[in-house]
Amino acid sequence: MRVENYDGIFYQDNSFSQVEDKLAVEVALSIAVNQVPFTVTMQTPGNERNLVRGLLFTENIIRDATWVPELEICKRNTTGCIAAVNVNISPELVLTDFSGKRNLISSSSCGLCGKSSLEDQNSDLVQNQDILEVERVNNMFLKMRQHQNDFIQSGGTHAAGAFDIEGVLLSVQEDIGRHNAVDKVVGDLLIKGKLSKAKCMTVSGRISYEIVSKVKSAGIPFLASVSAPSSLAVDMAIEAGITLMGFCRNNKFTIYSNPQQIALPNKNESMPSGKVKDKSICPKT
């Protein structure tokens, strides 16, 4: 698995320390078919031809099992990873249900629908004047777990929770997809007229790009997970003004972005500065 080193600020027992973590790399790959934009998928760099072949097959674009694609590399990102490819397919091999555009950003696990490029996303910063007390992080996860009834029974669902800045629970939703759980929380808040009160989103699974994107769209300045973030999730959180916390377990967590929005338990303690480390070079294809 491709990884990058990121600086973080580790919290435990009312104390902060600087740490270095390895995060799974997540990059965007734009795929065109016969020069027509098809999709943007979030993926670990490498084996792009296998990814394109499998995607076109499972999406019923081309079902000929003998067809072998030749990728035209159209763009690389600043670290050398392939960012855009085109694949040419003879018209007679393309199934009739292919309309030209999938209009879907497909993530490393679920998906963010309705866009054909990352540039379509909202570039505004999340506005925030609030400071989150560190002791409230663990309490929010305890409250969310108390409402994970489906998970207790099945062990197969994710949960998302929304809280105000005081740690008051506003909504908890469960779903087999962590992205769906986040969407359900946002919808619940909208229906109840409470979205403006939501300041922190907690999630039970890994944080990747699309989770940060959804939280950013909802205008929520704090995002916390029991698991790890991806590199692109951290990059986007930094740029969006979101404080992203990972590995929130047993009264411990690591802050990966915008630590200035977290209140220290000891007013005399200074917050160490965290920054993105030099990134690894993407594999050659």
Residues annotated catalytic, as ranges: 110
The distance in angstroms from the start CA to the end CA of the chain is 15
How far is the C-alpha of 103 from the C-alpha of 112, rounded, in Å? 10
8 Å CB contact between 86 and 32: yes
How are beta strands 104-106 and 200-203 bridged, if at all?
unpaired
Q: How far apart are CA 170 and CA 201, in angstroms?
A: 10
Phi–psi pair at 142, nearest 5 degrees = -60, -40
How far apart CA 32 and CA 117 sit, in angstroms, is 11
Using alpha carbons only, give the angle 21, 245, 80 rounded to the nearest 5 degrees. Answer: 50
* Residues paired with residue 200 on neighbouring β-strands, in sequence order: 163, 222
Distance CA 65, CA 63 (A): 6
Cα distance between residue 212 and residue 1, in whole Å: 22
- C-alpha 16, offset from chain centre: 25
Mapped onto helix, strand or coil, the DSSP state of residue 33 is: strand
Specify the DSSP element, H or E, that contains 246.
Answer: strand 243-249
Residue closest to 117 by CA, chosen among 129, 102, 135? 102
- Residue 222 CA to residue 244 CA, distance in Å, equals 6
